[in-house]
Amino acid sequence: MGDVTTALNSMGEHRLSEVSELRQNDGQRGPCLQERKALTMSERDSERLKARQCHWRSNLRVTAMLLVLWFVVTFVVTYYARELSFRFFGWPFSFWMAAQGSLVVYCLIVWFYARYMDRLDIRHGVQEPDE
């Protein structure tokens, strides 16, 4: 049992040192990450829990903002597009928004979310291992 605990402790220390190195190389400090020192097992668990909670809050915040953007593009712009009677790329704006514009915005939302989450995962040390 002692070997398992030792292995887990060394894995945790290795992970914490990776996070510290990433933070130092990046030159930025996240709002929830602090400098890592030699910590006991319970302190490490507490730090991991805080990092995960901060990661989750950031995830919820960006998800909420992107859902608001999705709602505006899907319902608000399309609803009021008839009143915006101007030509956009040679087509009436309402037609263009229904046929093309919303799809472009949806693709941009997916691209932004994937890129943002990759960076957020790295910042909080919960990224997926490279294959």
Give the integer Cα–Cα distance in Å for 4 and 22: 27
Residue 37 falls inside a structural domain: yes
19: burial class by Cβ within 10 Å (0-12, 13-18, 19+)?
A: buried
**Which amino acid type is present at position 86?**
F
Residue 82 falls inside a structural domain: yes
Structure token digits, residue 21: 């190195």
Number of separate domains in the chain: 1
Q: Which domain holds residue 35?
A: 2-124
Give the integer Cα–Cα distance in Å for 89 and 96: 8
Query: Rounded to whole angstroms, what are the CA distances from 13 to 7, 83, 108?
Result: 10, 60, 38
Mean per-residue pLDDT for 19-36? 48
pLDDT of 26 > 60? The answer is: no
Mean per-residue pLDDT for 60-84? 88
Residue 130 falls inside a structural domain: no
Tens of pLDDT along 101-126? 889 999 999 999 999 999 999 998 88
pLDDT tier at 72, thresholds 50, 70, 90:
very high
